[in-house]
Amino acid sequence: MNDVRFPEPVFLKFRTASRKVASSFEALECLDQQWPEWARGRNWRAAARACRDALDGWRSARDAQKALLKAARSAGVIAAEAHSRGNSRSVRINEGLRPDALFSERQ
């Protein structure tokens, strides 16, 4: 069984520590050892299953990463810098496409 690396690492923040998760094996380790007990529901089980399936070659690394992200969002453990990076890109794109921003600059 070979480890399956994610296309991009997932940054998580727990009460006691922050963690960069870059592969399916690291995700399983994190889900098992650091995940809050109260957040071990349906999304947590789906993420663990997707990561195990990726290690077994049944699913892609991208599928495992998506499942981990969904579980992390529902548990509220996505790191703040990951949020700000994603938001800054989308804001920049949205501001560039706003027609009123173009008109206000010319006046």
A 10 A CB-CB count for 60 gives 16
pLDDT at 87: 42
pLDDT at 2: 84
pLDDT at 93 over 80: no
Residue 80: C-alpha distances to residues 14, 27, 29, 33 (Å): 11, 19, 21, 21
- pLDDT tens column, 7-66: 999 999 999 899 999 999 999 999 999 999 999 999 999 999 999 999 999 999 999 999
Higher pLDDT, 97 or 47: 47
Q: Which of 97, 107, 64 is nearest to 72 (CA)?
A: 64
Taking the C-alpha atoms of residue 101 and residue 98, their distance in angstroms, rounded to an integer, is 5
